[in-house]
Amino acid sequence: MFKNVIVRVPSKTISEGLTSAHEGKPVYEKALVQHENYVSALTKAGVNVTVLEPKDEFPDSCFVEDVALCTSKCAIITRPGAETRRKEAELDDMIEALKSFYDNIEYIKAPGTIEAGDIMMVGDHFYIGHSARTNEEGARQMIEILEKYGLSGQVVEMKEMLHLKTGLAYLENNNLLVAGEFKTAPEFEKFNKVPVEMDEAYGANCIWVNDYVLVPAGYPNVQKKIEDLGYKVLVVDTSEYRKIDGGLSCLSLRF
């Protein structure tokens, strides 16, 4: 179960965020409303939400998931692969917020790069995507830190997706949403795989929070498959964040 969530309000510069999508630029006012609705959904799922102030000098800073991995034993500050995002991991308010919840804070060091959007937690085991944003050294350091605390990790080679969690979502109870290259990845054979078609691949980025599953608006087939598994679904519109490669999981740290 999750007790706490950290989010950051989107900045007025959100339209300058990094993107590989061809969906146009996000509209700040719309993004703000969508973020408020996202926080409301999380609150409904029974967590306490810590809201950090926007940082206009960092257009992508609302995507807090990438800058830290929150585990049951420690928080690990990452070192983002995107250079324009590297200083986000050093922001004082984020580190102070994590220190208020964790006694143990660890740090990924150069030349390692890793973004926690590439990390999927399954109990005490962590799958780490080797991607354009997460290099071998970053993954090695992350696994070393996890093992120090009695946790474990393994690397998943990637070729297509931006982040591991772009095409995967673990919904607890052995249920795993899979899209694209992950449908056939041998690492996920033991799971009850719930396939997501490529035209709804963005919908694969859902989050399980205390028996609720937050699902992005506009992906009815994904929503139905999750409902058919017996989960309570909360639908949240993240269309403005999709324009800058962001999904539901990217917008929060959950622990």
Within 10 angstroms of residue 123's Cβ, the number of other Cβ atoms is 10
The tally of domains found in the chain comes to: 1
Residue 172 CB partners (closer than 8 Å, separation 6+): 208
Taking only the tens place, the pLDDT of each residue in 64-104 is 999 999 999 999 999 999 999 999 999 999 999 999 999 99
* Residue 177 confidence (pLDDT) above 80: yes
Binding-site entries: 18, 60, 65-66, 85, 133, 244
The CATH number of whichever domain residue 56 belongs to comes to: 3.75.10.10
Binding-site entries for substrate: 18, 60, 65-66, 85, 133, 244
Taking only the tens place, the pLDDT of each residue in 15-63 is 888 877 677 899 999 999 999 999 999 999 999 999 999 999 999 999 9
Predicted pLDDT of residue 2: 98
* Residue 172 confidence (pLDDT) above 90: yes
* Residue 110 confidence (pLDDT) above 90: yes
* Residue 220 confidence (pLDDT) above 90: yes
Q: List the domain range (segments joined by +) for residue 97.
A: 4-254
What is the average pLDDT value for the chain, to the nearest integer? 96
Amino acid at the residue 155: V
Taking only the tens place, the pLDDT of each residue in 137-165 is 999 999 999 999 999 999 999 999 989 99
Q: Most distant CA pair in the chain: distance in Å? A: 45
Considering the entire predicted model, what is its pTM?
0.96
Instruction: Find the Cα–Cα–Cα–Cα dihedral 169, 171, 173, 175, rounded to 10°.
Output: -50
Q: Active-site positions? A: 163, 250
Q: Quick check: 210 and 173 in contact, CB under 8 A?
A: no
Residue in the block written with tokens 């309000």: 9
Predicted pLDDT of residue 111: 98
